[in-house]
Amino acid sequence: MRQRPPLFGLTDLLLLVTVCIWAVNLIVIKNVIGGVLAPIAFTALRFALAALILLPMLRSLTPAERAVSSSDRWKIIGLGLIGNSVYQVFFITGLANTLPTNAALILATPPIFIALIGAMFKLEKLTWLAWLGILLSFGGIALVILGNAPTETADSAARPLFGDLMTLGAAIMWALYMLLAAPVLKRHAPLKITALTVSVGAVPLSVIATPAFLTTDWSNVSTTTWLGVLYCGGVAIALGYILWNRSVQQVGAARTAVYSNLTPVLVALVSWLVRGDPITIYHVVGAVVILTGITLTRLGRRPRAPVMSPAPTLEETLF
């Protein structure tokens, strides 16, 4: 008889640790980017550090496992640009201008955009339950963005509406990245894809950050800021991605999704405890509505049956 997996095992513990790491990551970034180091410079540094940590790990793979075909090489480059370069520009700009709690709630919505993009490219069929979930999620996003705007202080959120919209752009980019990465991950090890895409993404970020690097007074960059770079690059990106990818392989995407929904809740609590950021009724109701919508959307998604002459896949269309 096949043994049933435990309700809470080592993988679940690692998932919980990863979610906590990422929740603290948002708070660390928010605190650090308000100092001498510009947001884009901080992001470029943490991705460069993550690449330096991840690339040597490729030696643990066999030569055959490290090999990449010419067609997949361009796809990996595209994934690095979408999932790390473009995503991070949206993400860091959004977080610099809004509250961490707002950002965390909006960043929980990629499943909604995955469903919409999947339906657009006829990868899956959305039932009425999924459409209800999508509508609820957008309603929750609107509640978080519009409801909290009047209460946000200039110190915590310089341009909250702009920041929230940029964060929404980051959520869309991440959804696109996950959809495009899925078929590539079937052909390559998660460690290889993570190391290569992070490294590819770090290059444009460094180029974009060059003016900020040249104007930064490095003698005034605090020890706290450097520790933030170490945490956000070495722990949140390098270690966090490895733990998450391992967990997806062990227990599947559905079970890991349960833990990802904890992130905005933990961010709100840590932000309130550490920064004193408010938890408003709009945050609470918005979180319930968004997470309910995400759950309904997941339940209402159905893969489309294959046809004799299928339309080009999303991967074929963009790559």
Q: Is 265 within 8 Å of 287 (Cβ atoms)?
A: yes
Tell me: pLDDT of 153 over 60: no
Alpha-carbon distance values, 310 to 179, 198, 304, 307, 317 (Å): 18, 32, 10, 5, 13
Choice between 81 and 31, residue whose per-residue pLDDT is larger: 81
Tell me: pLDDT of 311 over 60: no
Q: What is the pLDDT of residue 308?
A: 44
Q: What is the pLDDT of residues 89-134, one digit of tens each?
A: 999 999 999 989 999 999 988 888 988 988 888 777 889 998 999 9
Tell me: pLDDT of 150 over 70: no
Which of 8-22, 51-65, 135-149, 247-261: highest mean pLDDT?
51-65
Tell me: pLDDT of 310 over 60: no
Residue 303 sits at φ, ψ, to 5 deg, of: -65, 140
What is the C-alpha to C-alpha distance for residues 60 and 192, in angstroms, rounded to an integer?
A: 10
Q: Is 33 within 8 Å of 95 (Cβ atoms)?
A: yes
Which of 87-91, 174-178, 315-319: highest mean pLDDT?
87-91
Q: What is the pLDDT of residue 249?
A: 66
Residue 124 sits at φ, ψ, to 5 deg, of: -155, 170
157 — pLDDT class (breaks 50, 70, 90): low
Angle at 189 between CA 206 and CA 55, to 5 degrees: 35
Q: What is the pLDDT of residue 6?
A: 60
Q: What is the pLDDT of residue 278?
A: 84
What pTM did the predictor assign?
0.85
Q: What is the pLDDT of residue 147?
A: 79
Tell me: pLDDT of 35 over 80: no
Q: What is the mean pLDDT of residues 73-98?
A: 94
Contacts of 51 (CB under 8 A, 6+ apart): 195, 198, 199, 202
254 — pLDDT class (breaks 50, 70, 90): low
Q: What is the mean pLDDT of residues 311-318?
A: 49
Q: What is the mean pLDDT of residues 200-218?
A: 95
Tell me: pLDDT of 140 over 70: yes
Tokens of 203: 């290059």
Mean pLDDT of all residues belonging to the chain:
85
What is the C-alpha to C-alpha distance for residues 132 and 294, in angstroms, rounded to an integer?
A: 10
Written as one string, the DSSP assignment of 255-271 is HHHHHHTTHHHHHHHHI
Tell me: pLDDT of 219 over 60: yes
- Collapsing DSSP to helix, strand or coil, 109 comes out as coil
Q: What is the mean pLDDT of residues 291-317?
A: 66
Tell me: pLDDT of 71 over 60: yes
312 — pLDDT class (breaks 50, 70, 90): very low
Q: What is the pLDDT of residue 204?
A: 97
Question: Nearest Cα to 142, choosing from 159, 158, 165?
Answer: 165
One-letter amino acid identity for 308?
Answer: M
